[in-house]
Amino acid sequence: MKKSMLRNGLLLAVFAFFCTALVALVNQQTFDKIKEQQQLELKRVLHQIIPATMHDNELVQHCILIHNEKVLGVDTPLPSYIASMKGIPVAIAIETVAPDGYSGNIKLIIGISADGEVLGVRTLSHAETPGLGDKIELRKSDWVLSFNGMSLLSESDPRWNVKKDGGEIDQFTGATITPRAYIKAVKRALVYVNANKDKLLTRPANCEVNYQ
Amino acid sequence: MNEYKQIALQGLWKNNPGLVQLLGLCPLLAVTATLTNALGLGLATMAVLIGSNILVSLVKTFVPKEIRIPIFVMIIAALVTCVQLLVNAYAYGLYQSLGIFLPLIVTNCVIIGRAEAFASRNSVLKSAFDGFMMGLGFLLVLAVLGASREILSQGTLFEGADLLLGDWASVLTIHLWHLDTSFLLAMLPPGAFIGMGFLIAFKNVIDKKLAERTPEPDVPEVTRARITKVS
């Protein structure tokens, strides 16, 4: 009895060792590739929301961390990227979260120019209802493009609402919660950037992005 | 050779994991909103199934009966993690759209079921073939369900094929018709349930027709590949 327990235990340990070794090996082989894919994805998105003609620096290299639950919707620091032309900061790409979507957090990134104009907005990840709330993806609908060129006249700018609430932005048929949360998140980020422009844009890069 | 034919028949039709065994319904219903997602998950499941069947069959002689299940689970979990890493590295777009369902392959009962019922009792070659055929059977059900849901809900076929197969594949996308508002029922899980019901009913009708056509029971179903050999 004791012998078989020992034998089985050892056998399990051997199998655990080999299985772990296999996973470790594959992980090591794919680690760089996965990182590269994530970087490529990030670069692709950043390129979409801040036009390449506006800046001459590598956006992913000038990354700052912002920790502000009221603005960003989550209690963890999120990265932002500063675009500059000949050393002068011209725009910021700020990552933020809409915590009050229909199902879970909506992660988005917003490009804002130094004079407070929205350059572009993209959804990074979400779990909204397919067919209703997922129009926040550019793949499904060009709704996110309606933010392009918008700026904030005052903190209670009435244009920053869905049309149903008297604003200028389309709601989705059958899904109002999603665009409402989304607009609020973009607006919060914009208000924050406008108010802290000088501090943010001159902040030195302080988050580690392993860019190869 | 007849034995292999039997294995193929079991996997694809008689004992199809999707339509007959009804295993792995969670991913089956959740990711079949588009054909691309269905194919992606189907291929990943198939890869895991073949790999786990081969490994289980290889180690079956030195695995004592009492601890076989934890060892099978370890093997399957390791394989699923590897597949997940590989998809993440080489098909990033697909990784994003499959999301949580990729690691959830580990909970797909088809895999442990085949390890236990087939691979732990048969030769490596037969087990690999069984994994392939069961995987293919599952893949076909996923694909049929995915294609019909995609056509009904969005009016397209193979939307986002480039995520799975690379940039060239975007030419595969077929726009059948344009819908202003998508047909939600087909897009959401309840639609998948209904579609699945139709598929099963359809299979049963065919089986019944076949049975009627060959009334003489010359093969009294003893030859089923589910051999319960006591080792």
Determine the pLDDT at residue B192.
87
Q: Is the pLDDT of residue A211 over 50?
A: no
How many CB atoms are located within 10 Å of the residue B68 CB? Answer: 16
* Residue A66 dihedral angles phi and psi, to the nearest 5°: -115, 130
Residues of chain B in contact with residue A26, where contact means CB-CB under 8 angstroms, are: 81-82, 85-86
Domain presence at residue B78 = yes
- ipTM more than 0.95? no
Q: Is the pLDDT of residue B165 over 50?
A: yes
* Residue A123 dihedral angles phi and psi, to the nearest 5°: -85, 130
State the residue for tokens 């995609």: B150
Of B213 and A93, the structure prediction assigns the larger pLDDT to A93
CB spacing of B92 vs A37 below 8 angstroms: yes
Q: In this structure, which amino acid lies at residue A207?
A: C
Q: How close A60 gets to chain B, by Cα (Å)?
A: 19
Domain presence at residue B207 = yes
CB spacing of A11 vs B188 below 8 angstroms: no
CB spacing of A11 vs B71 below 8 angstroms: yes
CB spacing of A33 vs B182 below 8 angstroms: no
Decide if A126 contacts A104 (C-beta within 8 A).
yes
Which tokens hold the place of B93? Answer: 């777009």
- CB neighbour list of residue B122: distance below 8 Å, 6 or more residues apart: B57, B130
Domain presence at residue B45 = yes
Domain presence at residue B164 = yes
HEC-encoded secondary structure of chain A: CHHHHHHHHHHHHHHHHHHHHHHHHHHHHHHHHHHHHHHHHHHHHHHHHCCHHHCCCCHHHCEEEECCHHHHCCCCCEEEEEEEECCEEEEEEEEEEECCCCCCCEEEEEEEECCCEEEEEEEEECCCCCCCHHHHCCCCCCHHHHHCCCECCCCCCCCCCEHHHCCCECCECCECHHHHHHHHHHHHHHHHHHHCHHHHHCCCCCCCCCCC
Can you name the residues that pair with A175 across neighbouring β-strands? A172
Domain presence at residue B85 = yes
Q: What is the pLDDT of residues A141-164, one digit of tens each?
A: 889 999 999 888 888 888 898 888
Decide if B54 contacts B124 (C-beta within 8 A).
yes
Q: What is the pLDDT of residues B197-217, one digit of tens each?
A: 999 999 999 999 988 887 665
CB spacing of B74 vs A15 below 8 angstroms: yes
Over range A125-139, report the average pLDDT. 81
CB spacing of B62 vs A11 below 8 angstroms: yes
Q: Quick one: which of B7, B27, B44 has its CA closest to B145? A: B27
Q: Is B22 left (phi over 0), alpha (psi -120 to 50) or beta?
A: left
Domain presence at residue B60 = yes
Split into its structural domains, chain B has a count of 1
- CB neighbour list of residue A3: distance below 8 Å, 6 or more residues apart: none
Residues of chain A in contact with residue B33, where contact means CB-CB under 8 angstroms, are: 130
Domain presence at residue B229 = no
Q: How close B5 gets to chain A, by Cα (Å)?
A: 33
Over range B75-101, report the average pLDDT. 85
| Domain hosting residue B123, numbered range | 2-213
Tell me the pLDDT band of B220, cut-offs 50, 70 and 90: low
Residue in chain B nearest A127 by alpha carbon: B99
